Structure 1
């Protein structure tokens, strides 16, 4: 029998933070795919300075560890809208850690005055890391790739907060791969996640909160049905 993987300290700390901040909640929530999920992660609720600062620290710590293993990028790109705040916050934290990276983001609608165009911030060039909260269907990533490529730069990876590790759905049909697997295998971009559904289950296993531990069976059943 294979032993369970050791918990990832950074991932466990992040899950605890997300729960305490009310960003990761348990109950019954309908997903974009029409599934009833026993948990919901809403990164838009990292909505004050202290929470955003802490979130950026988690992203930056994961990215610095990736860089130490050889992953390199020249700048950060945040797709509108949630990616804009994330790109700015993470670039600040990376600079604090000694890795000063420029960042850019896009507008949803092109500006027809001033500097014009859809891209804002540093010139998009070199190896570009896309940063977002989650990957739901890969649509935002494909759009970001198109903008980055059109600017003459090279998309080199995606950084997200949570990997739901569940099957993607197309026209109501479950696919044999997750949205993250689609990005890594079909779009050929590595994906770095602070935590995943497996980390959430480990957190619930270790929790002494009876309310949280009661959610464990529902989360496991959801993973058994939709997980990859």
Structure 2
């Protein structure tokens, strides 16, 4: 679990990078959300470098034992790569060099072949992604890791939206993150969450106008 200052610093960083925006956005599920978080907009060397430091710190702070990282295609690939670099330079790792791997969407039929690229999957493996929505990426990653004889150790994400899935009137009892934790028995570590977004709105007069809309959204869909 990242410290409160780390979490708020990440929300501010996401805001500065245009990754977190406030307004009115239609999500993939068809909901109208008062905020939008798109980690794909961390798309420069400096921004991904800083992002990877937040990922590395959240993982170190979680105290979860791990041996390597796995990035599910496609968004998880640069995240696992960059976080591995950040961990290599993190004081708490004491010089440990953390390997990483990722999958291809389609198996390669020449060269070394297969769907896996990078270090062999072994030991305790942390899955790195941006967010968890339907949990499909986690399920595929868990199957790949277990299929290789390794052990999924945790899922590490940037933002926990803390909202229930499902349609109006048929909302699930749990959030996508909670369902992953229960289904696979894995901790989900997030750099920040909706709670931290609300803390920023509480303390930043510039964005105070969006606070009530976010609170209403959480009341309607939140956990």
Bin for the TM-score computed over the shorter chain: over 0.9
**Root mean square deviation, CA, Å:** 1.4
Aligned to 1:90: 83
Alignment TM-score, normalising by the size of structure 1: 0.92
Alignment TM-score, normalising by the size of structure 2: 0.94
Query: 58-67 vs 111-120, which deviates more?
Result: 58-67
User: Which of 171, 174, 177 matches 1:177?
Assistant: 174
Alignment size in residue pairs: 217
Query: 166-175 vs 10-19, which deviates more?
Result: 166-175
Separation (CA, whole Å) in 2 of partners of 1:172 and 1:61: 39
User: Which of 193, 196, 213 matches 1:218?
Assistant: 213
Query: 22-31 vs 157-166, which deviates more?
Result: 22-31
Contact 1:33 1:172 in 2 (8 A): no
Equivalence map 1:29-178=2 (5 Å): 29-67=25-63, 71-97=64-90, 98=93, 99-169=96-166, 173-178=170-175
User: Shift of residue 14 of structure 1?
Assistant: 0.2
Residue 13 in structure 1 maps to residue 26 in structure 2 = no
Q: 1:171 to 1:27 in 2, by over 3 A?
A: closer
Aligned to 1:187: 184
Structure 1: any 5+ residue segments left out of the alignment?
Answer: 1-6
